[in-house]
Chain A
Amino acid sequence: MSAATTPTTAITYREAMREAIREALVRDERVFLMGEDVGRYGGCYAVSLGLLEEFGPERIRDTPLSESAFVGAGIGAALGGMRPIVEIMTVNFSMLALDQIVNNAAALLYMSGGQFNVPLVIRMTTGAGRQVAAQHSHSLEAWYAHVPGLRVLSPATIDDARRMLWPSVCDPDPVIIFEHGQLYNARGELTEDPVTDITSAAIRRRGEDVTIVAFGGTLGPALEASEQLAAQGIEAEVIDLRSLRPLDSETFLASVGRTHRAVVVDEGWRTGSVSAEVAARITEEAFYDLDAPVTRVCSAEVPMPYAKHLEEAALPQPDKVVAAVRQLGG
């Protein structure tokens, strides 16, 4: 092996995710992919392009347009000993399967007194930025992160897209993976990332002046903001949550203990969001470390607009993060 010396080639987030699915299909014959247009069409976001040809219709299965039905089928298959990966086109559509996910997938282990676990992986797209308006663009991660019994992941980097799926498939309980629609075309090189677990948050940039907490689609704007801030002499520490449930509070609390200031960036609506949970935990557990109130940069509390300039105005952009940090003073 010469992995260390062979130059790695840049791949997209989409390709990294496809590779991850391939790996799962190859490593475990109980794994199969199921969802709308995942087979013949190659996936609504082309993640599964070519997999039908490679693995056949038994393992790459197109389903009718009924989220409730195919998520329910996935739960049944998982209970029957399979390791299904179910793709839902967007988080907005997953509302139709909410009953299956919350009342069945998340609850069956408890309801059966520990007899039936549900080793199901559900992948879905989240987020805005592609002018697909108010029924395809929302970030509802917080709704799932609210539910005990689910593990909720938010891979924001090429590495995580490539490496978080297999441990999710191995997890004996239901895992939901959010893929931000804006990230599919992101290109980067796979690294030998030391972080390969599905439980911890990661520090993406070191800094000592302020902690910026982000995840999924907001990691990019947070890192961009931190570069702008660095040019102004402010060194931001950027935390990527990676896992929204369970939430690794230790990492961001320790960071706040060093920087004494925190800004949370979340593409979800502010009210009842993941950022609300992070801010609450900082206030509960690091109050006496705070030199300024915890500040949040979230999406405007409106259904996501279609018009490009309005959509941009509604989303947490780097300049808003910079402004929020500067407002903290110090």
Chain B
Amino acid sequence: MGDFTMPSLGADMEEGTVNQWLVKPGDEVHRGDIVAVVETEKSTIEIEVFENGVVDELVVEEGETVPVGTVIARLTSETTAATVHSPVLRHLAEQLHVDLSSVTGSGVGGTVTRADVERAGAARVEGAPPGTRPVPQRRGQRHRKAAERATGRTRSSPYARRLASQLGIDVAAVQGSGPGGSVVEADVRRAAAEPAGTGGPMAASVEAAGEVAASSQVGDKQAAMRQAVGALMARSKREIPHYYLSTTIDVAAAVTWLERANLERPVTSRLVLPALLVKATARAVAKVPEMNGFFVDDEFRPSAAVHVGVAISLRSGGVIAPAIHDVDTLALDDLMRALRDLVVRARSGVLRSSEMSDPTITVTNLGELGVESVFGVIYPPQVALVGFGQVGDRVVARDGMVGVRPCLTATLSADHRASDGHRGGRFLAEIDRLLQEPETL
């Protein structure tokens, strides 16, 4: 560890501005502490730290805008020695295909020792499927160098590495000009002098955003937001084969239950229907897990936790979908509080990094505006988005009788790579069933 980088607060984020540091060098930080306020094209977000340690250095100054992944601060973990591995250890880890950051040190002050790496290497081999065991290499074997190169290690001088991390440059991406193609100081300085994102797929949009940012402040922000939303939605439509389903749900039971439940609650903590809808969606995932998770690296990875992203429109224009965590296990009152808090903070522009980066499924509710149904665009890399329309009285035939009941249209946009229409239908039906038993939510 050591490097604290500009986090990606959602798939659409390419860069962020450090608005404010809430810590200074020497401060002790703990997992979950808010250390900085970062402004993205969409909102202002409080950034949490994920490790315990001490702030060593703030690399990026307040007001500076840097691409995602740039080192913005350096931390020393509680066991400093454990984080700086010797060249010998790194070499050994590389030979054994062990990720050093995942090795628990048994040495003095938690230092990782040779034995730790060898143990991790052995465990790795035992756990590996047959045929993938690395062939043990004898010392001094001729092709070791070639193998090193094949593993993708970048040869670079210690000073070049130090400089690169100071300047927020990825050494692996720098073309080396030193002996044996190694990256040396001059290469890093050259890379630092080049504009950010050179040649990458992001370059065009970053530059475009930069151009947009040349005009006035407010117009700026909105244009950048528009651009960010646009880029993400275009990506979604380009990559995700959407399918759409819709169903009409009778919410009489839910509405009646809410009225009764709210009689016992003070005005400030009354429940509203959207809370029930979000909760029902989260619970329905248990029956149809193909709706909850991420599609990355050509495969669907279901998520055990259910973090529901709630689409919130901003008054200045644009939309964001921060997450409420573990909704499936959250009590309804807590969920209601979280929802209120989220809307207030989203609109005032102060969200937390984890809220922005990890929703596993999204709910959008345009009912308030009188919209009947919404077929949303999935937020990559998620695989499903549930939309709820306006609640309205409709003429309904039921049990051979005609009646007037409050209903809404629920829709599902789902990723065909992760699920099929049959499962999608099952999912909507489960939401419907849950909403008929609001007391269980």
Q: A291 near B184 (CB under 8 angstroms)? A: yes
Q: Which residue of B lies closest to A289 (CB)?
A: B159
**Given the complex, which residues of B lie within 8 Å of A292, measured CB to CB?**
157, 178-179, 184
**Given the complex, which residues of B lie within 8 Å of A291, measured CB to CB?**
157-160, 178, 184-185
For chain A, give the interface size range. Answer: 10 to 19
Shortest B245–chain A CB gap in Å is 58
Bound CA–CA A288/B165 (angstroms)? 12
Q: A290 near B179 (CB under 8 angstroms)? A: no
Q: B158 near A329 (CB under 8 angstroms)? A: no
Q: A330 near B162 (CB under 8 angstroms)? A: no
Bound CA–CA A113/B177 (angstroms)? 58
- B122 contacts the other chain (Cβ, under 8 Å)? no
Q: A289 near B179 (CB under 8 angstroms)? A: no
Bound CA–CA A80/B177 (angstroms)? 64
Q: B159 near A329 (CB under 8 angstroms)? A: no
- B331 contacts the other chain (Cβ, under 8 Å)? no
Q: A330 near B185 (CB under 8 angstroms)? A: yes
For chain B, give the interface size range. Answer: 10 to 19
Interface members, chain A 154-189 (any B CB < 8 Å): none
Most A Cβ at <10 Å: residue of B158, B178, B179: B158
- A327 contacts the other chain (Cβ, under 8 Å)? yes
Q: Tally inter-chain residue pairs, CB-CB below 8 A.
A: 35
**Given the complex, which residues of B lie within 8 Å of A306, measured CB to CB?**
none
**Given the complex, which residues of A lie within 8 Å of B157, measured CB to CB?**
260, 290-292
Interface string of B151-191 (1 = CB under 8 A from A): 00000011111100000000000000111000011100000
Q: A327 near B179 (CB under 8 angstroms)? A: yes
Q: B160 near A329 (CB under 8 angstroms)? A: no
**Given the complex, which residues of B lie within 8 Å of A290, measured CB to CB?**
157-159
Q: Which of B158, B161, B178 contacts A330 (CB 8 A)?
A: B178
Q: A260 near B185 (CB under 8 angstroms)? A: yes
- A287 contacts the other chain (Cβ, under 8 Å)? yes
**Given the complex, which residues of B lie within 8 Å of A288, measured CB to CB?**
158-159, 161-162
Most B Cβ at <10 Å: residue of A288, A291, A329: A291
Q: Which residue of A lies closest to B161 (CB)?
A: A288
Bound CA–CA A328/B177 (angstroms)? 11
**Given the complex, which residues of B lie within 8 Å of A289, measured CB to CB?**
158-159, 162
Bound CA–CA A153/B157 (angstroms)? 34
Bound CA–CA A308/B289 (angstroms)? 85
Bound CA–CA A6/B176 (angstroms)? 56
Q: Which residue of B lies closest to A327 (CB)?
A: B179
Q: Which residue of A lies closest to B177 (CB)?
A: A329
Shortest B174–chain A CB gap in Å is 13
Bound CA–CA A327/B160 (angstroms)? 17
Shortest A246–chain B CB gap in Å is 27
**Given the complex, which residues of A lie within 8 Å of B179, measured CB to CB?**
292, 327-329
Interface string of A62-85 (1 = CB under 8 A from B): 000000000000000000000000
Q: Which residue of B lies closest to A283 (CB)?
A: B158
Q: Which residue of B lies closest to A256 (CB)?
A: B159
Bound CA–CA A330/B179 (angstroms)? 9
Shortest A107–chain B CB gap in Å is 35
Interface string of A282-297 (1 = CB under 8 A from B): 0000011111100000
Bound CA–CA A287/B178 (angstroms)? 17
Bound CA–CA A184/B162 (angstroms)? 46
Interface members, chain B 136-158 (any A CB < 8 Å): 157-158
Bound CA–CA A292/B160 (angstroms)? 9
Bound CA–CA A290/B160 (angstroms)? 8
Interface members, chain A 275-330 (any B CB < 8 Å): 287-292, 327-330
Q: Which residue of B lies closest to A287 (CB)?
A: B158
Q: Which residue of A lies closest to B187 (CB)?
A: A330
Shortest A13–chain B CB gap in Å is 38
Shortest A284–chain B CB gap in Å is 12
Q: Which residue of A lies closest to B163 (CB)?
A: A291
Most B Cβ at <10 Å: residue of A288, A289, A290, A330: A330
Q: Which residue of A lies closest to B157 (CB)?
A: A291
**Given the complex, which residues of A lie within 8 Å of B158, measured CB to CB?**
287-291
Bound CA–CA A330/B159 (angstroms)? 12
Shortest B177–chain A CB gap in Å is 7
Known: A260-B185, A292-B157, A328-B179. 15 other contacts (CB 8 A): A260-B157, A260-B159, A287-B158, A288-B158, A289-B158, A289-B159, A290-B157, A290-B159, A291-B157, A291-B159, A291-B178, A291-B185, A292-B178, A292-B184, A329-B179
Q: Which 10 pairs of residues, A with B, have the shortest CB-CB distance?
A: A291-B159, A291-B185, A291-B157, A329-B178, A288-B162, A288-B158, A260-B159, A291-B184, A290-B158, A330-B184
* 25 examples of A-B residue contacts, CB within 8 angstroms: A260-B157, A260-B159, A260-B185, A287-B158, A288-B158, A288-B159, A288-B161, A288-B162, A289-B158, A289-B159, A290-B158, A290-B159, A291-B157, A291-B158, A291-B160, A291-B178, A291-B185, A292-B178, A292-B179, A292-B184, A329-B177, A329-B178, A329-B184, A330-B178, A330-B186
